Structure 1
Amino acid sequence: MPNDNLKDLNAFVTVAREGSFTRAAARLGVSQSALSQTLRNLEERVGIRLLNRTTRNVSPTEAGQRLLTHVTPALEEIEQGFAQIGSLLDRPSGTIRISADEYAIETVLWPRLSPFMADYPEIGIELVTDYGRNDIVRERFDAGVRRGKLVSKDMIAMRIGPDIPMTVVAAASCFASQKKPRTPQDLSAHRCINLRLPTHGELMAWTFSKASKDLRITAEGRLVLTSVRQIREACLAGFGLAYLPRDYVAEEIEAGHVIEVLADWRKTFEGYHLYYPNRRQQAPALAALIAALRYRT
């Protein structure tokens, strides 16, 4: 159906309901002459008279009544649809899909998503654990979370967490027969627990920094896991040295459950950012989430 017909049909229904061009024109906010011309154009397009016009009133013809019966419910549904869309501005709803790695989900997202979901019961959250740099538009994500330098330049990015200092820790039993490593190269003599990145399938390199220079080490070890939570538990159990965000094991270090080594080689990564496509019309649910996740130092 041509686009003009929808506007003209609305004019026809209004005239039929009001029984008067004068009242219908006032309701639609147009002149009476313009409304009369609209109805004449509609009748010419359909090839049949839709309204009986007298000096006192206007009423549908038989054809007009049949059209009115079919068109009125459809126009009412359209009005309801626009009303529901408008209500989203006041009451955000829908599902937000977010791609993020495991550590970001556990330490940055979840502490804030829990109260957010309580405040917005009509918003659903789908968190997908992903270590890659996938195209979130192609994969139909609303947003992604990655460390700042990993975010594509064509995305809007907003910091949602502090910088991430890394550390190497181990249970005291790991140093019962071996000295603590003094340099990253000394790790070759120790059992290390590796993280296999679930998305890529490769082992995560251990990155160190000193004198503004980075050093990447491929750690040796018998144990390979796919979860930083599992690595922390294995480290506490004495299975080997672990390379983890320091904040993730800060309490264990303070309590003496693990020993921190190579602190003077500590690498600090830029904090997590929420990123999303540059869209002119932002969904209300995503806008509410962005406000809730904004990082405040």
Structure 2
Amino acid sequence: MMPDRLLPPLRLLTVFETVLRAGNIQRAAAELNVTQPAVSQALKALEDYVGLRLLDRSTRPATLTEAGRILQIGVTEGLDRIAEAVEQVRNLDRAAGQSVTIACSVGTATYWLMPRLAGFYTEQPDIAVNVMTTPGSPEFQPGMDLAIRYGTGNWKDGRIVKLFDERVVPVCSPDLAAEIGGEAGLLRATLLHVRSSDRSWLTWKDYFDLNNLPENRTLGRYFTNYIQATQAALSGQGVMLGWESNTGDLVREGRLVTLGGTPMVPKEAFYLVVPDRRDRKPASDLLEAWIRRIAAGHG
């Protein structure tokens, strides 16, 4: 690494480059907003620093000496590289300000958030949304700007915005619904179960109790996550309890159908959690506003 004492002050190099680019001291002084004597003094100081004449003042206009030509190449390339580096740094800052990270469960990301994000990109094409998925309710981590959680909304780690209530009702493929004869066929249909340690998770027993139906004794199929069960329902393998946030779009598209009965409406709901931070990004505010607007029309 070159010792600092071998480098002249950047101000002197800037004056030197400006004189060469402007063509003479007068125009350089105007560009730098200083007097002509100040420019001349800076050139003289630079020559004293390097120990050689940089300009041949015996000609009109003054011309570069051999030492001046060597220094011109280095100064021009050096200042250009500095300018490029500064622009890259600014672009990094702009890129950071134009991205936002939101966390939610895998199911919420797959079936609710991701299918709707195209609408956000249509409105805000310059903002990148990073979606971080978690097996359960996400906890804030460094770099996370927003979180969508399912629960009672009593968290203390940010501002809480209710998005929409949940609704749970049996769903299956249209072909299977026709085969089992609708709601009455639940007692003999293959039921799709999702194993969960979450106490708020609703089960087929909860549904049968709510609707005063005898429990289905048919051997069901069990899954470790909701996405697997959804794919099984789509392929006609059985009937699942469809949570509106995940299967609502599939029902509206006609890929799944509901089987009637009284739906279960849990006390938990979906919330947007906004951490209390002073360095909130404008992109985060824009995504929050968009999510609240989309959630208000949640069908």
Work out whether residues 148 and 270 of structure 2, in 8 Å CA contact, stay in contact via their aligned partners in 1.
Answer: no
Structure 1 residues 290 and 206: CA distance shift in structure 2, 3 A: closer
Offset, 1:66 = 0.5
Counterpart mapping for 1:198-277 below 5 A: 203-206=197-200, 223-226=222-225, 228-234=226-232, 237=236, 239=238, 242=241, 244-245=243-244, 248-249=247-248, 252=251, 257-259=258-260, 263=264, 266-273=266-273
Assess, with a 3 A threshold, how the Cα gap between structure 1 residues 115 and 5 changes in structure 2: closer, same or farther: farther
Aligned residue in 2 for 1:62: 66
Q: CA deviation at 1:261?
A: 5.2
Q: What secondary structure, in the 3-state scheme, does the structure 2 residue paired with 1:271 have?
A: strand
Q: Using the alignment, how far apart are the partners of 2:48 and 2:160 within structure 1? A: 56
What RMSD, in angstroms, separates the aligned Cα atoms of the two structures? 5.1
Shift of 1:252: 4.6
Which residue is equivalent to 1:188?
none
| Structure label with greater radius of gyration | 2
Q: Give the 5 Å matches for 1:1-297.
A: 5-53=9-57, 57-79=61-83, 99-117=103-121, 127-131=131-135, 132-133=138-139, 135-137=141-143, 143-147=145-149, 153=157, 162-167=163-168, 169=170, 172=183, 175-176=186-187, 193-194=193-194, 203-206=197-200, 223-226=222-225, 228-234=226-232, 237=236, 239=238, 242=241, 244-245=243-244, 248-249=247-248, 252=251, 257-259=258-260, 263=264, 266-273=266-273, 278-279=278-279, 286=283, 290=287, 293-296=290-293, 297=296
1:110-142 Cα offsets, whole Å, 9 max, x none, are 3443245457777665544334425242xxx6x
How many equivalent pairs are there?
256
Amino acid corresponding to residue 194 of structure 2 in structure 1: N
Paired-residue identity, %: 24
Q: Which runs of 5+ in 1 are unaligned?
A: 179-190, 197-202, 209-220
- Higher strand proportion, which one? 1
Segment of structure 1 superposing worse, 33-42 or 85-94 = 85-94
Where does residue 187 of structure 1 map in the other structure?
none
Q: Which runs of 5+ in 2 are unaligned?
A: 173-182, 203-219
**What secondary structure sits across from 2:43 in the alignment?**
helix
How does the TM-score come out when normalised to structure 1? 0.58
The CA deviation string for residues 250-288 of structure 1, in whole angstroms up to 9 with x for no partner, is 87599863345563x6223243357697547x5x8x479
